[in-house]
Chain A
Amino acid sequence: MKIWKVMLVLTAVIYLVVLFIFVLAWIKDIRQVNSWNEVYAFRIDPKEKLTPEAKNAALKKQVNDLRPKGVYIMVDSAENRYYLKKDGETIKEGLVSTGSGVVLVDPSGKRSWVFDTPKGEFFVKSKIQNPYWVKPDWAFIEEGEPVPKRMEDRVEGGVLGDYALGFGNGYFLHGTLYTRLLGRNVTHGCVRFADKDLEEIFKMSKIGTRIYIY
């Protein structure tokens, strides 16, 4: 037997070994992937009084009981859409404008604001017709104007539309003059509606109505 024959045999052995390793790896992988069909092989607790079916029904009821009843508002800040819901059914939907996500830095460098619409569950805390906007500090800073000391200098009428629903921390669902911007992320955190849409929401909602922003 010559050297090339030995090399050939060695190559064949190496090839077979590599192939074998691959096959083993794949088998292990397949078994592992499939193992998550088996891992939830739970056992029934002998001390458990309820049957699994009865417990299931009880848990489902508990989860269902947490769902909002009556009228609630959902705002999709990614798509800039709102959904007015009643007992799970959509009554009305349309465009809104939500936070721009911009960061404003005070020239002094001591303060900054992030213009995001807050996400989560909120409640209507105030209902205002013909609202006035009390401009916060950032509104002046953004425009490069000095921040007034008198409250009267901060009040501006007509810019929030005909209705406003406050949901805490200075955030409102309110109307707008700039309807062409509905559907875009342009606000400082409030949710802007077309006045006609907000009118119906305003009438249907009350203090405590839930708002879901996501």
Chain B
Amino acid sequence: MSKDQEKIPKMWTAKRIKETGEGGAISLMVFLLLLILAAGVFGENVQPGAKSVNKSVKQNKRTTAVDKNSQVVQKNNQPAVQKKSGPKSQEKTAQAKTETGQPIKDKAKLQVVKENIFLAEELSLAKNPQYYFVLNLKEKKIELRARGMVLKSWAARDIRYTGPAVPLKVTTLAQKTALKPPKRLLINPAENQAQESSTAKPQEKKEEKAGQEKTAAASGSGSSDNFEVQALEITDMPTSYELIMDNGLQVSIRTKGKEKSRQQRELISWYVLRPIKNLLSSKKEIKPKMIIYFEKERDAQGLYWAFIDGLKGLIWLP
């Protein structure tokens, strides 16, 4: 054995591997590692006697959906019982119904049942005076509705969705975040008077607005026309931002052609990093995420304008 070979740890020498059969052990370890990973991917989808569907996830979602469904039924048929029963007993009832109910195999019927749950949820929203949103992934559009009628609609160029499906129930916009959120203009007459007295210059704008300089002569309800203000308009709204829903769904809004480098980074993240992260994460850690691409930046801005904090809505998955 040469000196060079002596420097190398024993376990890495080909001779040792050959002699001791550690090569087989290493191969076995690699094989087992891959098997564990594969089991992580496929194992959760394989159920004895079932087709390749994610039964555990499916069961949870079924329970949620049927829970909602059963609530509607109870409302119609047994309102007194529902009032008395607590959430735990409702859950049990729903679970029992899930177990005893017949699974729907007919796709058309399934669609009707699904639509019924959607309509029941929409009905609860439409009874309130506030408008609400409906995010339709199948038709790639977002609608603003009030009392069941469409107030405004935006067509998305593309919508991507990943992660576990969000339940078909009312969700609330918890937060809006943007790199450059619009800033309201502040008028403080006291400060302006102080500025006027200290400098001989004419009255200046109250506050610099990020990016754009635009002026519009304004009046109270029309009383004076001799001073200028900067208004917060749709063009001041961001074109890229995030909407975070209370069910954990993060919706990213993007405009095609804007912030190309950022979108390229997101593309890599979406197709390479996120799948690996999801693979290594447990099922509970994976959060649903959506990216909506608009053709026109005004659409993205309009959505930011209309989606006020606390806005309720529904997400319609295909």
Scoring B residues 94 to 125 as 1 if CB is less than 8 Å from chain A, else 0, what string do you get?
00011011111000011011111101101100
Q: Within the assembled complex, what's the spacing in Å between the Cα atoms of A55 and B73? A: 10
Interchain CB contact (< 8 A) of A74 among B151, B184, B317, B318:
B151
Which of chain B's residues has its CB closest to A77's CB? B305
Q: Within the assembled complex, what's the spacing in Å between the Cα atoms of A135 and B229? A: 19
Interchain CB contact (< 8 A) of B57 among A39, A88, A120:
A39
Q: Is A56 within 8 A of B119, CB to CB?
A: yes
Q: Is B12 within 8 A of A6, CB to CB?
A: yes
Q: Is B122 within 8 A of A41, CB to CB?
A: no
Q: Within the assembled complex, what's the spacing in Å between the Cα atoms of A188 and B224? A: 12
Number of A residues, CB within 8 Å of B: 90
Q: Within the assembled complex, what's the spacing in Å between the Cα atoms of A37 and B248? A: 19
Task: Give the residues in chain A near B40, CB-CB below 8 Å.
Answer: 24, 28
Number of B residues, CB within 8 Å of A: 105
Interchain CB contact (< 8 A) of B222 among A67, A138, A185, A192:
A192
Which of chain A's residues has its CB closest to B227's CB? A143
Q: Is A42 within 8 A of B161, CB to CB?
A: no
A47/B73 contact (C-beta < 8 A), A178-B219, A190-B221 known: yes
Task: Give the residues in chain A near B109, CB-CB below 8 Å.
Answer: 52
B28 near A: Cβ within 8 Å? no
B25 near A: Cβ within 8 Å? no
Q: Is A114 within 8 A of B184, CB to CB?
A: yes
B274 near A: Cβ within 8 Å? yes
Scoring A residues 41 to 54 as 1 if CB is less than 8 Å from chain B, else 0, what string do you get?
11111111100110
A127 near B: Cβ within 8 Å? no
**CB of A56 to closest CB in B, whole Å:** 5
Q: Is B61 within 8 A of A56, CB to CB?
A: no
Report which residue of B5, B13, B161, B184 has the largest number of chain A beta carbons within 10 angstroms of its beta carbon.
Answer: B184
Q: Within the assembled complex, what's the spacing in Å between the Cα atoms of A141 and B37? A: 68
Scoring A residues 14 to 35 as 1 if CB is less than 8 Å from chain B, else 0, what string do you get?
0001001110111111011101
Task: Give the residues in chain A near B306, CB-CB below 8 Å.
Answer: 78, 214
A169 near B: Cβ within 8 Å? no
Q: Is A32 within 8 A of B164, CB to CB?
A: yes
Q: Within the assembled complex, what's the spacing in Å between the Cα atoms of A60 and B224? A: 50
A128 near B: Cβ within 8 Å? no
Q: Is B149 within 8 A of A101, CB to CB?
A: no
Interchain CB contact (< 8 A) of B184 among A52, A101, A172, A177:
A101
Of the 9-residue stretches B83-91, B185-193, B256-264, which lies at the interface with chain A? B185-193
Which of chain A's residues has its CB closest to B234's CB? A78
Q: Is B14 within 8 A of A6, CB to CB?
A: yes
Q: Within the assembled complex, what's the spacing in Å between the Cα atoms of A25 and B12? A: 30
Q: Is B65 within 8 A of A42, CB to CB?
A: yes
B212 near A: Cβ within 8 Å? no
Which of chain A's residues has its CB closest to B279's CB? A25
Which of chain A's residues has its CB closest to B149's CB? A67
A-B contact pairs, 10 of them (CB 8 A): A6-B13, A6-B14, A28-B275, A38-B54, A42-B114, A49-B77, A107-B189, A121-B129, A144-B192, A174-B222
Give 5 closest A-B pairs by Cβ, nearest first: A101-B232, A43-B101, A107-B190, A1-B14, A36-B165
Q: Show the binding face of A for B, using Cβ within 8 Å.
A: 1-3, 5-6, 13, 17, 20-22, 24-29, 31-33, 35-49, 52-53, 55-56, 59-60, 62-64, 66-68, 74, 76-79, 88, 100-105, 107, 114, 119-121, 133, 135, 138-139, 141-144, 156, 159-161, 172, 174, 176-178, 181, 184-188, 190, 192, 212, 214
